[in-house]
Chains A and B, each alone.
Chain A
């Protein structure tokens, strides 16, 4: 899948949850959204793409969420 598109979609999700004041809850919100709505190959691709330098393309909040996903 197109990694740039997945990154853009993930950041869009981050933009919504960023409005929530509790940072941890917001990151969990993003992680849970990815878990509940993204098909595994989309998540896998996002994780693979952002394992190295690609992580810089994510907003900080989404980066936290992606780390949560990585830990399972």
Chain B
């Protein structure tokens, strides 16, 4: 249930340019044609009793409480299903209506417990509120109906409970699961009074099709479906609008709290990224913030084999600064650097890169975008002119064809996936390019028109083949290209892709995709109306990641699918603020706003503001830092909110590099894999503990607001500022809003952003400046950011990673819905009940060849190393390909991935590793070493 204080107009807003005028209870009101009478009444300030209607869902007309009288019409139409018409005169109150409503409600209450005072919904129950407004004073038939009362509850889900005795069978939950979430997990079983909500298959929530998004719980008007935290703690006292700290969808939430304690996180209806929807992580998996594992005191140690020693903030910061200066004195200015967290706020990311550029005096600053969307930055920068998705999420509602490449949104970007599924149910067509049969290939009421199930590592070949079909079959948007793109570059590209060796038939032996499917998909993309590309790390995390991004941009430009609603090129960003960390200049070659460090004028603007000289040469990227550590020229690292030992590829190489460093400073919520090799531990603050902003995958800047005080006493930005001050570069900000003022002052695309404006408008999509004071929903309208769009030829170069008789399978990696990346947060929540370990998906044929059964522990070996995890037999993967998740450090999935990386950006090639799988004889060597280390005094918190 939502708070009754939130206005609920009962039905969704109508989309029409035509308005109609009518009168409701004598009050004049104008609404768009198609608006329900219920909604029109609410907009006129008149509330009508209702139970089955809520704004998020299409009207259903089942409860018969919202009846009204319409002059000149017979009977009592339901206002939720009756559209407003010109000149209508509507009455919402009369004796007849009151009698009817009381009668309906009486029937409900014969079968509903009347223990409101001890009910968790007390005060926010819609049934209770309706009973109050219709003035029901007695229930003539008694209140001992047995249809629902006494029925057994279901508390199998870790986060919410179902109490059928409180169910009024309004179907809001069923419809929320269908319409909002698109999971179709619930049905109403039985008929009449005996009808009952049932999750299928199995009848219990846990183990059913339910993905725990919570939409049904939010939609329920009573306590029939209620958050367990709300049941335990009671109704909240206040709400704080904030933004999810997990993924790049950037859902807006109302943190509902008592004092400083979160009671629940409720998805915000106003937030444009999610429009009232959420996924299991943001909605429920926030308990990690107060988990006992949180480290709340700074710690230092001389050697990584020593136990940690708790110290004061002053001592920790002073020690870190002294060490960094000592290293620089001995090994030069370039011997230290920092990793910026894509989990932290824009303001915090800004400060870390500023610290590196001013106090460290170099450009050795990088972010985890290095391992995910750095190729997006390069590829879109080269072709379109800027490193960002071109659309809003809402744009998908105008798409006719969706080309989904190397992305699995139902797991990784669930709220966007729900929007996409809704559009697909409305009839949009879908092409999936993925080595795995991801859920969207075949989901309830969704079927991909084409699934190009390519061999891992052949994206560029498939994309060039798609372009070949577009060009050679005359499907290119020649007018668009002539007006908007560089003509010479287009000609070179056209000639290149048209070559016979790029035909789908010629590339079929390489990609494994039947040519006819490629041709069909290309024709659909080029001619099916508005065509939008969405892609993920299955595109970027390859040795040709940047080339693939360029190929995607080429395809969109060639078909004229850029620069308006419903089309575009949309990287689905992984982390909550990976877009922001990139925007904030967390790259060794770029100052904020994607401006190269060699640009003297840009440097000059920063130098004038910051009062220092800036280094005009690019700095080291994360993998380069590791390599430089091994040759002794890089010895000090400030690592904020990242865990490279778990998240970077080739774990052993990363550990060797960290071991070679003299001072590793880790700032994090918990001890991490990386902190095992650290000398200084600075406690971090969760997103609930600080103010700031995150920028999501649609360039949307949203506020993060403090719900509780930082457990360690300092927000992350304060820690960075203290370190900078200790290095002789004071950062005297009093509040993150002052950092945003500096960001706006120095970054043209952020010039119009301020906290005041964010408070007023809710969110802003950059560029936000004088030309676009309220932000820019769609990019490249009328012209590309770089002027003319630039085509570039995209030769397919096979990855050096090949299968061999010793390593005959190809491993690709990915995430699942309930766990998040390195899992530091989700592993410390009840989400463990959905998934408690990493799994290796393997085709039954490959498994049979190796005598591996479902659930067996298997060893996964590559030339880099060995991991041991449990096998899951599935035909989602094709023979010859295996797929692993990487959420659990004890698995060590990245022990097996290699040093191969994208040619332009060094983004690691996580998606292709030649491996062998066998039944495991025991734990891997790496697991044994890790356990021994964790058991030693150095592995524990004091």
Interface positions of A (Cβ within 8 A of B)? 1-2, 5, 8-9, 12-13, 15-16, 18-21, 33, 35-42
User: Taking the complex as formed, is B633 at the interface, i.e. its CB lies under 8 A from any CB of chain A?
Assistant: yes
Grouping DSSP codes into helix (H, G, I), strand (E, B) and loop, the A interface class, with mixed when no group exceeds half, is helix
A1–B631 CB distance below 8 A: yes
Judged by a CB distance under 8 angstroms, whether B390 is at the interface is no
User: Which listed residue (B544, B619, B795) contacts A39, Cβ 8 A?
Assistant: B619
B334 touches A16 (CB 8 A): no
Return A60 CB to nearest CB of chain B, in Å.
16
Q: Which residues in A have their C-beta under 8 angstroms from that of B354?
A: none
Tell me if A18 and B795 are in contact (CB < 8 A): yes
Tell me whether B904 and A16 are in contact (CB under 8 A): yes
A20: chain B residues at CB < 8 Å are: 492, 792-793
The reply to whether A5 and B899 form a contact with Cβ atoms under 8 Å apart is yes
CB–CB B904/A1 < 8 A: no
In whole angstroms, how far apart are the Cα atoms of A41 and B332 in the complex? 12
Taken together as a complex, chains A and B put the C-alpha atoms of A13 and B905 apart, in Å, by 10
Q: Do A39 and B543 touch across chains, with their CB atoms under 8 A apart? A: no
Closest to B496 in A: A19
B797→A39 contact, CB < 8 A? no
CA distance A13 to B547 in the complex (A): 10
Q: Give bound CA distance, A42 to B617, whole Å.
A: 12
CA distance A12 to B794 in the complex (A): 13
Between A and B, 16 residue pairs with Cβ closer than 8 Å are A1-B628, A8-B800, A9-B901, A16-B546, A16-B795, A19-B793, A19-B795, A37-B904, A39-B334, A39-B364, A39-B588, A39-B618, A39-B620, A39-B621, A40-B617, A41-B628
Q: How far is the CA of A15 from the CA of B903 in the complex (A)?
A: 9
Interface size class of B (residues with CB under 8 A): 35 or more
B496 surroundings in chain A (CB, below 8 A): 19
Query: Could you tell me the distance in whole angstroms from the C-beta of A29 to the nearest C-beta in chain B?
Result: 10
If A1-B627, A9-B903 touch, whether A39 touches B793 (CB-CB below 8 Å) is: no
The chain A residue with its CB closest to the CB of B633 is A41
CA distance A44 to B170 in the complex (A): 71
- Residue numbers in B under 8 Å from A5 (CB-CB): 627, 899
- Complex Cα gap A11–B334 (Å): 26
Secondary structure at chain B's binding surface: helix, strand, loop or mixed?
Answer: loop
A38: chain B residues within 8 A (beta carbon): 618
Name A38's closest neighbour in chain B (CB-CB). B618
B630 at interface by CB-CB < 8 Å:
yes
Given contacts A13-B904, A35-B598, 20 further A-B contacts (CB under 8 A): A1-B627, A1-B628, A8-B800, A9-B901, A12-B543, A15-B797, A16-B544, A16-B547, A16-B795, A16-B904, A19-B795, A20-B492, A33-B904, A36-B598, A37-B589, A37-B905, A39-B334, A39-B618, A41-B633, A42-B620
Residues of chain A with a CB closer than 8 A to B630's CB: 2
Interface string of B231-265 (1 = CB under 8 A from A): 00000000000000000000000000000000000
Within 8 Å CB of B342, what residues of A?
A: none
* Contact indicator per residue, chain B 615-644, by CB within 8 Å of chain A (1) or not (0): 001111100100110110100000000000
- Given the contacts A2-B627, A41-B334, A41-B628, A36 and B795 also touching, CB distance less than 8 Å: no
User: In the complex, which of the residues B624, B792, B797, B901 contacts A42, with contact meaning CB atoms closer than 8 Å?
Assistant: B624
- Select from chain B the residue with minimum beta-carbon distance to A42: B624
Instruction: Report B793 CB to chain A, min CB distance, Å.
Output: 4
10 pairs of A and B residues whose beta carbons are closest in the complex: A12-B903, A19-B795, A19-B793, A15-B797, A39-B620, A1-B627, A40-B617, A1-B631, A13-B903, A37-B589
What's the nearest-Cβ distance from chain A to residue B597, in Å?
A: 9
Query: Shortest beta-carbon distance, B200 to chain A, in Å?
Result: 50
Which of B363, B618, B795 makes the CB contact (< 8 A) with A15? B795
Q: Mark B885-913, 1 if CB is under 8 A from A, else 0.
A: 00000000000000101011110000000
Taking a contact as CB atoms under 8 Å apart, the answer to whether B547 and A36 are in contact is no
